[in-house]
Structure 1
Amino acid sequence: MGTEVRDVKRANNGKVIGTHNGTFHCDEALAVFLLRQTNTYQDSNVRRSRDPKILDTCDIVVDVGGVYDESLQRFDHHQREFNGVFGHGFVTKLSSAGLVYKHFGKEIIANRLKKSQDDPVIETLWLKMYKEFIEGIDGIDNGVLQYADGALPRYRVKTDLSSRVSWLNPAWNEKVDSNGVDELFEKASTLTGSEFTNRLDYYANAWLPARDIVHSAFSERKNVHASSRIILFTQFAPWKEHLYEIEREAGIAEDEKPFYIIYPDETASNWRIQAVSVSPDSFENRLSLPEKWRGLRDEALSKESGIPGCIFIHSSGFIGGNATKEGALTMATRSLEMQGKAS
């Protein structure tokens, strides 16, 4: 199959994307999908071969050919000297998916959102999609250990996107002709593409609006309490990831970081007070709710705290509830005062 050429035909703009034939992988399946979302390679045919003469007839080549050169539209990552990374703090070696995304990702996102590439949200989403979606594919394809210390994982995960693409290949003892393999490759490309676009749509339409809400509330925290230690959301939004990133970007000192978040619960019928953890993955809080309140509910809690409308405080002190916004704010303020953090 080394010199065999397979053309995957579709209605096209005359451009041809080249990649290798034979067993396919997640990275080139996604790379092909991504290229088909660009203005230049929209609806292009795919030519699958390892023959250099055949590849030279293609307009762009990914994951084969031993060359990485944007000016030549060659995007392979298998050559010995290749150590390309995405940059922007990311150090995972790129696969063909990462290479295509690095060079074409902003255009792809802008096309999807019908925005200019100069819109600042494009840069934000470009970095976010690499971190949350593309980098894992790069790491798996290049055999980059997920655990830097070499420790063995406690369990195996074989339901990731790369594994699901792998399962689309014919079994070693299954008789499938070249046309059949090409059809399976198209399924793989569609699979990777649908997950990419679904994730992008989520980040554009849900993740970014939540970030705006968190950023606005963070900016107004001094108006909630002079200590800047309480943040108030007037509507529910996922806030954890955004809060830590906003703090980091703003260079907030430790003695100014918020202790408590006040927000309406998802039913908007009650209010929550939640302690901010010391880090996104930690169960340790910057300032837990008072120990004497923990585990109490309803009237017992209201009596102990002297605050009407209390609903509960978790036994660990990380979250509580009140029937009203004013009640939740009073719980936060009273907690700061009881623990000497009100100023």
Structure 2
Amino acid sequence: MSSSSLSDSAEHPAKRQKMDVGTKVIGTHNGTFHCDEALAVYLLRLTKAYATADLKRTRDPALLDTCTIVVDVGGVYDESKQRFDHHQRGFTEVFGHGFNTKLSSAGLVYKHFGREIIANLLKTSPDDSRIDALWLKTYKEYIEAIDAIDNGISQYPTDISPKYRVRTDVSARVGYLNPAWNQSVDSKTVDSQFLKASALVGDEFVDRLNYYANAWLPARDLVAAGLKERSHIDPSGKIVLFEQYAPWKEHLFELETDLSIAASEQPIYVIYADETGGQWRVQAVPVSPESFESRKALPEAWRGLRDDELSRASGVDGCVFIHASGFIGGNKTKDGALQLARLALQL
């Protein structure tokens, strides 16, 4: 994209733009750029409507009025007019679905175009059952923080003093692409840096979405299947078996909520093949995804024992270890791991 398609021009912009009524133009502000509009522009170019749109960076109201869509400038949020600013007095829009962070231009664009963007990237239909889960997950894990940082919302209470600073988040990395305060630069240079920033944050968005679609979501399906079949593994329904390793904690807790599984019916132990496939693990389900406390740790009499000593103590052949805290153990076979879990339920 040429720099002339980005910046203000000496020629009156409204006159030039209106001559080419077939060209769609994305408008955003010029000067110092931020992560939110850099991502908003990238996202719009993942839609069918704006895939080939030009980009105009300006604060001139007359020029903005000629743009097809405007993000992060203009003082208007109105989907029907394709205007997506968040700086105006009285703006309180949030993503919804349990998210209460005020949106930036990135969140606004993602809220209105995100489902289409995901369908386009996955090359699937808009009614694909995966889309809503990916739409919400990607907002939670990637875009909400960009919204919060741009709107100056602290992650923690302000009376807490952090022990160190983190300035490697994507918003900070985009910020570093702006010219330094004491550099002499022209608008062409700043516009070029904006395109780098847009590519940086946008490419990371696509990478994250690909991970959620191709790794995170299949793991969720595996956990859902394990929960459904758990009564066939053990009549108590307290043991979940996965034939292969997959990250399961986050999905387990979310699915328990989604499926309204009562506390009395929730699983206590999870059995799975370790990452190498050579052994099997029995792991106590924690009380929450990040907790070190288990719903029911493995028996105290087994903790810290290994190999034959553990097999003698438990009466189960092929034991490998039980962690000193009782949150996890291992056996050489699936049947051995299941025996440990069944015995642990009774002790």
Scaled to the shorter chain, the TM-score interval is over 0.9
Instruction: Provide the TM-score with structure 2 as the length reference.
Output: 0.93
What is the rounded CA distance, in whole Å, between the counterparts of 1:143 and 1:152 in structure 2? Answer: 17
Residue aligned with 1:317, SS: coil
CA shift, 1:150, in A, is 4.3
Q: 1:85 aligns with which of 94, 101, 115?
A: 94
Residue equivalent to 1:244: 253
Provide the C-alpha distance between the structure 2 equivalents of 1:86 and 1:128, rounded to a whole number of angstroms: 12
- Pick one of 309, 316, 324 that aligns with 1:300: 309
The one-letter code of the counterpart of 1:29 is: A
In structure 2, what is the Cα distance between the partners aligned to 1:148 and 1:171?
A: 31
State whether structure 2 residue 113 is matched by structure 1 residue 113: no
- The separation in 1 between residues aligned to 2:50 and 2:205, in whole angstroms, is 17
Deviation at 1:151, TM superposition (A): 2.4
- Asked if 1:154 corresponds to 2:163, the answer is yes
Match of 2:149 among 132, 140, 145: 140
Partners of 1:125 and 1:155 lie apart in 2 by 32
CA positional deviation for 1:45:
1.4
Measure the CA separation in 1 of the matches of 2:159 and 2:81.
38
Per-residue Cα deviation, 1:84-116 (whole angstroms, up to 9, x for no partner): 000111000000000000000000000000111
Partners of 1:65 and 1:302 lie apart in 2 by 71
Q: How does 1:52-67 map to 2 (within 5 A)?
A: 52-67=61-76
Deviations 1:41-97 (A, max 9, x none): 002211011110010011000000000000110000000110000011100000000
Structure 2 unaligned blocks of 5 or more: 1-6, 14-21
CA distance in 1: counterparts of 2:130 and 2:23, whole angstroms: 32
**Amino acid across the alignment from 1:40:** A
* 1:149 Cα offset (Å): 6.5
Q: Does 1:179 align with 2:216?
A: no
Distance 1:90 1:244 in 2: 18
Deviation string, structure 1 residues 138-182 (Cα, Å, up to 9, x no partner): 000001111146423332210000000000000001122110100
Q: Deviation of residue 203 (structure 1)?
A: 0.4
Identity rate, percent: 64
2: CA distance, partners of 1:51 / 1:14: 19
Gaps of 5+ in 1: 8-12, 339-343
SS, match of residue 271 in structure 2: strand
Q: Output the TM-score relative to the length of structure 1.
A: 0.94
Q: Where does residue 128 of structure 1 map in the other structure? A: 137
1:15-61 CA distance string (max 9 Å, x none): 11000000000000000000000000002211011110010011000
**In angstroms, what is the RMSD of aligned CA positions?**
1.2
Counterparts of 2:159 and 2:106 in 1: how far apart (Å)? 25
Cα–Cα, structure 1 residues 149 and 187, in superposed 2: closer, same or farther, change >3 Å? closer
Q: How many angstroms apart in 2 are the aligned matches of 1:142 and 1:43?
A: 29
